[in-house]
Amino acid sequence: MSEEQVDTSNVTSVEARLAAEALIVDVDGFEGPLDLLLTLSRTQKVDLRRISVLQLAEQYLVFVEKAKQLRIELAADYLVMAAWLAFLKSRLLLPPDPEDEGPSGEELAAHLAFQLERLEAMRDVAARLMGRDQKGRDFFARGVPEDVTRVRKVKYTATLLDLMQGYARIRTRDDFRPYVMDRDHVLTMEQALDRMRGLIGYAGDWADLVTFLPEGWEADPQRRRSATAATFAASLELAKEGKIEIRQGETFSPITIRRKPTDG
């Protein structure tokens, strides 16, 4: 940016110099080049979306030129903006170069207009925000907040590892205990059915249902009850399928079954 550095050309008239200064002396008051552009755009007195970016760019470049003449040290931001606006100006004035793939001058101008509009919008809402009722100025909190006294309380904690170790501890007390509780005393109908299907081929003659109970299930009363019920249910199912016949002489007498003869 050395070519943009303040030059040493003379200022012709003191009056002109003062007039220019009136505009520029406030350069510290501007919050950067975008803010300055926003201020300059106000002179166009149009909707920011319809602003002449070209005109704005020229105004800005004039401003920077004057600042140079006045030997006002402008921050780099302002000079970068000046260079960019000079570039934008050339893009807007020259016919588009078909070789160039960059954004068009119109796109760049539209974005600048958007930025200005957005900045102005933020200014506006910032003012509205500050204009709201504020705590300590318009409304107030309790003047003497009461101290909250501290009371000790015990909080219990445990980790997932504690939980799993605890559970493992219980489960390993009797390693043979199945995972699902009580299932070791229950024979399901499916289990009985599987068993019966295998055995029924050998049951040509009437045989007591009790003889079909799985081994080891007759002794324990709970297991026997479960196995008997399951086996009975399974035999009903097989009878329904036409595979066996069921017979009971009288109430409470033994239930007997046999394979259904193939000839019917």
Partner 1 sequence: MAEDPEQSLFEAPPMGEQERMVEAILFASAEPVSVAELNARMPHGADAAEALVHLRKRYEGRGVHLVKVGDAWAMRTAPDLGFLMQKETVEVRKLSRAAIETLAIVAYHQPVTRAEIEEIRGVSVSRGTIDLLLELEWIRFGRRKMTPGRPVTFVVTQGFLDHFGLESARDLPGLKELRAAGLLENRPPPGTGLQDDEDGEGEDSQSEMFDED
Residues from 225 through 264 that contact partner 1 (CB under 8 A): none
CB of 49 to partner 1, least distance (A): 10
Look at residues 187, 171, 190 and name the one whose alpha carbon lies nearest to residue 179.
171
Contacting residue, 42, 71, 111, 247, with partner 1 by CB under 8 A:
111
Q: Which residues contact 115 (CB under 8 A, 6 or more apart)?
A: 34
User: Token pair for residue 214?
Assistant: 């799985």
Cβ 195 to partner 1, closest distance in Å? 24
Q: Which C-beta is closer to partner 1: that of 25 or that of 121? A: 121
DSSP state of 214: P
Please, which residue, 77 or 194, has the CB nearer to partner 1? 77
What does each C-alpha distance from 133 to 124, 128, 143 come to in angstroms? 16, 10, 18
Least distance (Å) from partner 1 to the CB of residue 16?
29
Question: Going by C-beta distance under 8 Å and a sequence separation of 6 or more, which residues neighbour residue 81?
Answer: 33, 34, 37, 60
Measure Cα distances from 27 to 40, 109, 136 in Å: 13, 24, 34
Nearest distance from C-beta of residue 66 to partner 1, angstroms: 21
- Residue 85: other Cβ atoms inside 10 A: 23
Do 230 and 187 meet the contact criterion of CB atoms below 8 Å apart?
yes
Return the number of the residue (10 or 159) whose C-beta is nearest partner 1.
159
- Using DSSP's 3-state secondary structure scheme, residue 135 falls into strand
Which of 201, 202, 200 lies closest to 234, judged by CA?
A: 200
Distance CA 65, CA 83 (A): 12
d(CA 159, CA 155): 13
Which is nearer to partner 1, 33 or 66 (by Cβ)?
33
**Under rule CB under 8 A, which residues in 50-109 are in contact with partner 1?**
77, 102-103, 107-108
Q: Does 113 bind partner 1 (CB under 8 A)?
A: no
Residue choice 73, 121, 190, 208 for contact with partner 1 (CB under 8 A): 121
CB of 213 to partner 1, least distance (A): 19
Smaller CB distance to partner 1: residue 128 or 240? Answer: 128
CB of 23 to partner 1, least distance (A): 19
- Stretch of 7-15, 34-42, 236-244, 254-262 lying at the interface with partner 1 (CB under 8 A): 34-42
Footprint (CB under 8 A) of partner 1, residues 152-171: 152-160, 162-171
Span from 6-14, 122-130, 196-204, 235-243 in contact with partner 1 (CB under 8 A) = 122-130
Nearer to partner 1, 14 or 151 (CB): 151
